[in-house]
Amino acid sequence: MTDDRELHRRAGEVFEAALEVADDERRAFLDRSCGDDGALRAAVERLLDHDDDEGILRDRALDSNRAALGHLLEGDLDYVDVDDPLGSTRDRIGPYRILRRIGEGGMGVVYEAEQDAPRRRVALKVNRPVHDSDRRLRRFRREAEVLGRLEHAGIARIYQAGTFEHRGAARPYFAMEFIEGVPITTFATRAHLPLRARLTLLISVLEAVQHAHDNGVIHRDLKPDNVLVRGDGSPVVLDFGVARLSDSSTALTSLDTLNGEILGTLAYMAPEQLSGDPDAVTPRSDVYALGALAYELLAGRPPHELGGLALTAAMRVLTEREPPRLGLLEPNLAGDVETIVGKALETDPARRYASAAALAADLRAFLEHRPIVAHPPSRLYLARKFTRRHKGLVAGAATAFVAITLGLVASLVSLAGEREQRELADASAERARRGERAAIGHLYRAVQDHLDDGELWAAAQLYAVADHRGGGWDDAFLARVMPNMLPADVSSAGARWLDDERIVVPARMGGGARILAVADWTEVGRLLPSEPLASATVLPGHLVLCRPLAPFGSIVTVDARTGAVRERRPSPFSGGAPRHAPSATLDADGRLVTAYRSEDGQTIVVDRGEGASLGIDVDGREDWLPIPIAGSRFIAMRADDGRLRVHELDTGTLLGEVDGLRPSAGTYFASRRGGRALLSSDVEDRLVEVDLERREVVRRWEHIRNRPFDLFELSADERLLAQGPGARVEIWDLEREVEVWSGPVELLAGASHRVHLSPDGRRAIVGADDVIGFVLDLDRPPVDPADLGTDRDPRANTFRGHDSFVYHLALSPDGRLAASLSVSDGRLAIWDLHSLETVATRLIGEDGAHEFRRRSNLIAFDDDGRRLWFSAPQSGYGAELRCWDLLTGEVEVRAAVDGASLNPHLALLDDLLERLGPGPPKRLGRKAARLADGRGLAVQQAAGLRIPDGERWHTAPPGNSEEGLALSPDGGRVAIAAARAIRVADATSPDELYRTRGQAYAAAWAPDGRLFATAGEDGRIRLFDGELLIELYSFPAHDDYVFSLAWTPDGTRLVSTSGDATVRVWDPRTPEAREADHAGYRRRYEALRGEDSAQLTARFGEAMSVDERGAILRAALDARR
């Protein structure tokens, strides 16, 4: 472990503690904490400076930067800066010598480097490993192309672009002009620039951006950090990493800006960028960002404070709230300046300045005391925006917010008529709801895009930022294939298993160690709640070893069962904090043993409490460090040259040395066999076991390799070893030397992962840095995205009871049975939605009619589920309406039409409606439905093939090549799935409410109306908000056309039929939840076994619930099998 690493760790601890100290007390705190250690003081102050500069989503940003602190706590494994794509060892890329890392820009990390010829300093940009997908590499390369097109003094120039080999992969980079400067806001603050100088500086930025726009380039990520000011006061625009081309070259952008993928920094993004739609981004989007930059340059704060907000909440703020008026923050900005900046920040792009040049022109007019073009918004416009802004709170808040908002609306009545104001408020509420659902949809589509690209871990990290409270089936469906990610406020590096169901982790905010239930991440306890902690380590006997942030080196052991402090050991350091914290463990007698380097650096002090301490001479060598060995009578020390010294714990006597271990600071050790042995690595990276009593290597595992800085851990019973080399996690059985589990994990590309096994060895916490992590269930490993949409999809249950296209589908009223019909193979099957067991079949004969006739069959259970009604082909292209009594097994023909009808199945609809009578809206097949009053609705083919409307039904709104029909649960809306579009209309009138492009063969509303699903020729199912009809996302479902969709009555499952001869049941519940639900049903119908048809018929007549009737019908069907 190097001194730099230890310095970073100590700086991280002091930095975390300093954040809890008031600004006016911070200097004195640093004096006490850092003492005479100038390097430590400087490192902490740099971190504090960086913290003060954070803008966007500050809490989240702070969390993501914790890894860069080098926060190495004793008891943790060593740390690798996985956010640095080059690591600490590489010093050259091609003709460039790396000098230092200077920051981050767009999709990459930026280094200061020196070019060999011509000799000059350059900024060298390299993408992070996490961005090494093909799509992101295309975006990275595009930045070089874009910058190459721009020649302006206010835009950083590009010198060279290329690739280099790193860790077996080609990594792109480009060298650009090195700009020695500070962010524009920092420059203005430090220079105490007056208003006129700030506006003049801003005008120079506007001119540079206008040059980019004139060359067809939209920046999309303008913010203070991307506008540096040189020492001579000239600004330079940097980082076109997310730029897009606005001219005819848009094809390049369309390949790699996926719908729903949000780029840029949120606090400065125009509202239209939140849609993720590349076509919505125009030069006016940059004008908005320039307005946000101007606002911060003048007011000292961004227009919107987004710290601590979830992504969806932050997006709502940007779309629904107006920033405070500049004149309220700075009175001298009232008037023209406030009007100019306000126009640039309009949420409606049409109301903004059309260009950066137009914004610059108004600023010049102000400076020259001429009239400006912009004018303050009208009174009525302000009233409408005010109402919309607060009505947005109504859409997503609780009753208290509703009351507040109603009061605000009432105060506006004087500005307009009461009726107009009420209508305006209602419209505003709908816009707010639409905005919220649209934001969620864009996020979910981006998640699904990653899944479609095979990027599970990118999808999981994006999914984790959403607010999932109140999420419905659509949220649960995505969650089912997401790894169980740790919450954003839980450190994956600091989390430790307390038992098989709970973890303990230092609290990020406040004090103590939180105890969390892994099942739902609820906090079930807190230890030492008043003390900020650096780390918490679990020891045998439910003891938690806590390390307070201050004083450095102090240790407290706490009984996790009672919360009682068992021992408090003070810091052994009297002066400034040393380079290494004490190691700590329990000895063979259960006593706490700490070991640390003395303040003079000459000895290792071993302290067993109550004055029992001793010193071991290490000749002043700083690379000798103690290794805690749990339950042992030995203490070991390791050196960077690979030597291991073994001492007797009681006396400190040197018993001997072990050679042949790997000479690296990145070599780790783990106690084994009750403290009598250590695991480590040899010079060939093999895992080895060192017998401490014999002081020699006694076993080598040929197949278990542990590279430098690969972290490993043993299970509680020492049987399993877990490690995370690169993009994998491996669990090994040490006795048999076999992998019991392994799989790809790529939280950060190219990074090793920490793996902490639960006591029972069935789960593990896997983390890549201090923030990102998840819980791995070894019995249910992460899904392979390639399995989604196949039989291996964990959400899918696939019925394969047909040999050809499955067009038609009906579900029983209790949601337990499905009836599917393939007119191509002539088979009607009734089967169990859970077990997929076929419980009854009938051959209905092959239909040789035209394609449209095969797609028009009627099929439905009646309202009590006893009978299944279906139309079947008859010779001569006719059709029969048949009734299958599931209690008795009898099938009767109830009506028939001859082959003269163009659509014989639909010609039977009057007969079916008469027999069904009134009832809840019901699907009667792909192309017909019953309304509540007993009348029907149907769709037909092109006009020339239609039949006249019936006595009890009429044709839905006109169109061509209609394929499917669906009714909303209340029967008020009808959806038409057609060859060219999906249309939604009022069920009682021809008024069209919604239309979207795309072919669809099927549509269905969820029973609660919250979701609407469609599907068609591409085999994907698309989910929409059922009320607002906003698309949420689509997912792969079949390998061929999807012909029918239906929801179970309880809304837990969506069933789809396809031309691939399968029927799939889509269920986001866990296998345990599915089985528990089915178990009750199975008990009910198995209890009826042995009863004859007459007894079951009598029971059915007396049954009071749909579940009772369903069980009786299942028992009757089973009895005839």
pLDDT tens across 440-474, in order? 888 898 899 889 988 898 888 888 877 676 679 99
Tell me the pLDDT tens digit for each residue of 52-89: 433 333 333 333 333 332 222 222 322 233 344 454 44
Do both 100 and 128 map to the same domain?
Answer: yes
Q: Report yes or no on 843 lying in a domain.
A: yes
Mark which of 571, 592, 626 sits at the end of a domain: 571
**Residue list for the binding site for ATP:** 125
Tell me the pLDDT tens digit for each residue of 792-836: 999 999 999 999 999 999 999 999 999 999 978 889 999 999 999
Sheet holding 158-166, edge to edge: 92-93, 96-105, 108-115, 120-127, 169-177, 158-166
Do both 464 and 547 map to the same domain?
Answer: no
CATH of the domain at 924: 2.130.10.10
Name the token pair of 735. Answer: 């006795």
Task: Give the pLDDT of residue 258.
Answer: 34
Tell me the pLDDT tens digit for each residue of 400-414: 333 434 444 444 444
Beta-carbon contacts of 60 under 8 Å, excluding residues fewer than 6 positions away, are: 465, 488
Coarse DSSP helix, strand, coil percentages of the chain, rounded to the nearest 5 percent: 30, 30, 40
Bigger pLDDT: 979 vs 859: 859
Name the token pair of 144. Answer: 């070089």
Total domains in the chain come to 7
Do both 104 and 211 map to the same domain?
Answer: no
Residue type, 127: N
Place of tokens 């918490």: 536
Name the token pair of 177. Answer: 């002009």
Task: Give the pLDDT of residue 958.
Answer: 57
Q: Report yes or no on 557 lying in a domain.
A: yes
Do both 1006 and 862 map to the same domain?
Answer: yes
Neighbours of 248 (CB within 10 A): 7
- Cβ contact 124:173 at 8 Å: yes
Tell me the pLDDT tens digit for each residue of 921-949: 999 999 999 999 999 999 886 655 678 88
Q: Report yes or no on 12 lying in a domain.
A: yes
Please report, for residues 209, 266, 273, the alpha-carbon distance to residue 270 in angstroms, rounded to integers and kept in the order given.
16, 8, 5
* Highest mean pLDDT, choosing among 94-108, 245-259, 292-306, 836-850: 292-306
Mark which of 376, 397, 417 sits at the end of a domain: 376
Task: Give the pLDDT of residue 796.
Answer: 97
Do both 1108 and 1038 map to the same domain?
Answer: no
Do both 162 and 206 map to the same domain?
Answer: no
Q: 1084 by DSSP, 3-state: which?
A: helix
Share of the chain above pLDDT 70, in %: 78
Q: Report yes or no on 644 lying in a domain.
A: no
Do both 878 and 1020 map to the same domain?
Answer: yes
Tell me the pLDDT tens digit for each residue of 1067-1111: 999 999 999 999 999 999 999 998 999 999 999 999 999 999 999
* Highest mean pLDDT, choosing among 69-78, 981-990, 997-1006: 997-1006
Q: Does 673 have pLDDT greater than 70?
A: yes
Name the token pair of 341. Answer: 């900046």
Do both 1041 and 1082 map to the same domain?
Answer: no
Please report, for residues 16, 69, 180, 510, 554, the alpha-carbon distance to residue 13 in angstroms, rounded to integers and kept in the order given.
5, 9, 31, 14, 13
Do both 202 and 133 map to the same domain?
Answer: no
Q: Report yes or no on 390 lying in a domain.
A: no
Do both 861 and 918 map to the same domain?
Answer: yes
Element containing residue 569 per DSSP (H, E): strand 565-569
Q: Of residues 221, 452, 847, 1067, which has the active-site annotation?
A: 221
At residue 255 the predicted structure's pLDDT band, cuts being 50, 70 and 90, is very low
Task: Give the pLDDT of residue 1022.
Answer: 95
DSSP H stretches of helix in 215-346: 250-256, 283-299, 311-320, 326-329, 336-344
Do both 104 and 238 map to the same domain?
Answer: no
Task: Give the pLDDT of residue 783.
Answer: 92
Mean pLDDT computed over 846-856? 54
Beta-bridge partners for 607: 594, 613
Task: Give the pLDDT of residue 304.
Answer: 85
Average pLDDT, the chain: 80
Domain that holds residue 122: 92-150+157-177
Q: Report yes or no on 20 lying in a domain.
A: yes
Q: Report yes or no on 599 lying in a domain.
A: no
Q: Report yes or no on 904 lying in a domain.
A: yes
**Residue list for the binding site:** 125
Task: Give the pLDDT of residue 1075.
Answer: 95
Task: Give the pLDDT of residue 944.
Answer: 56
Query: How would DSSP label each residue in 326-363?
Result: HHHH-GGGTTHHHHHHHHHT-SSGGGS-SSHHHHHHHH
- Cβ contact 754:724 at 8 Å: yes
The pTM is what? Answer: 0.69
Mark which of 571, 599, 623 sits at the end of a domain: 571
Q: Does 898 have pLDDT greater than 50?
A: yes
CA–CA distance, 1020 with 1008 (Å, rounded to integer): 22
| Catalytic site includes residue 500 | no
Do both 317 and 191 map to the same domain?
Answer: yes
Name the token pair of 349. Answer: 């792009």
Please report, for residues 312, 359, 568, 1049, the alpha-carbon distance to residue 288 in angstroms, rounded to integers and kept in the order given.
20, 10, 56, 47
Beta-carbon contacts of 154 under 8 Å, excluding residues fewer than 6 positions away, are: 204, 205, 207, 208, 211, 234, 235, 236, 237
Query: How would DSSP label each residue in 14-73?
Result: HHHHHTTS-HHHHHHHHHHHHTT-HHHHHHHHHHHHHHHH--TTHHHHHHHTGGGGT---
